[in-house]
Structure 1
Amino acid sequence: MATGIATMAARIPASTWPSAARLRVFHRQVMKLSLSPRVVSLHSSASALSSPSTSRKLILYSKPGCCLCDGLKEKLQAAFLISGPDSLHDVELQIRDITSNPKWEKAYQYEIPVLAIVRSDGTEETLPRLSPRLGVELIRKKIAAALSQ
C-alpha cells in the first residue's frame, strides 16, 4: 500500500505541494477549530492569545450546501492568514448555520452569505455583500476597513 501512495505522490508535481509552513498553519487552524451543533468558530492564532473583550468579531450567516457561502469561508480563512498592515489575525469568525435558528433563517434565507461585525456593545452590523469574484487581498482590506470604523 505504501508503494501505491508513493507512486501517486510521484505523479503530482512537487511545485503544487504545499510548503511545510503552510501545512503547519493549516494544522494549527484545524486544531483551533471548535465545533458546536451548527455553529462554528474559527480563531486565528493571535485571537487565542488576546482576551475575548479586545478581539474583533465577525459572524458569517450561511447554510450547508451553499456554494457562495463555502467560497466566502475559504477566502476568509485565507485572509486571516495574511500578515502585514490591516492584518486580521485578531479577528474571531463565528459561522452560523441559518437552518438551526428560525429567526436567522427568516432574516437571511435569500441573502446568504451574510457577513456581520459584532460591535463592542454587542450589536451586529451587517456588511455590504462581498462579490464572489473578489480576491482574498481585497476581501481582507474591505473587512479591515469595516472593522476600523
Structure 2
Amino acid sequence: MNIDSIQNGVVLDHIQAGKAMDVYKYLHLDQLDCQVAIIKNARSAHMGKKDIIKIDYPLDLDLDVLGYIDSHITVNVIRDGMRVEKKHLELPKRLVNIIHCKNPRCITVSEPQLDAIFLLSDAEKHTYRCAYCETAIDKKF
C-alpha cells in the first residue's frame, strides 16, 4: 500500500491501533478541506500494530485532546516535505470542554455556557474530576 508523503502538514504517529477514528472525531478532521489519510493497523516494531493519521495541511492541533485520547501519540510537523518538529504528548493535567460532567446536579449541566473543567486526579487510572462538583470520570478510551 502506498500513501504519498505530505509537503506541509501534520503526521500523527504511534496512535494505539483502533483509535484513529476517535482522534479523527475529537479533532473534527471531517471539517477540513484537505487530504487526510488514516492508516489503521500499520506494522510497528515497537507497538506491534499502530494507527497513523496524515493531514496535508498545516494546522494547530489541540494537544490536550490528543494527550487525553492517547498520551503516546507523536505529533510530527512537516514543512517542505521535511519533519521540522516532533512533539511527545503526556496526559493533560487539566481538560477544558473536552469531556462533560455526568452529574445531573453539576452547575455545568444547569448552566451549559460554563466551561466544563476537569482536573487529573489519578494518572495511573486516567481519572479526571469535575472542577465544580468533583464527580470522577474514568477515561473510556
- For Structure 1 versus Structure 2, the TM-score category normalised by the shorter chain is 0.3 to 0.5
Higher strand share: 2
**Higher-RCO chain (CA-CA 8 Å, sequence separation at least 6):** 1
Higher helix share: 1
User: What TM-score does the superposition give when structure 2 sets the normalisation length?
Assistant: 0.32
User: What TM-score does the superposition give when structure 1 sets the normalisation length?
Assistant: 0.31
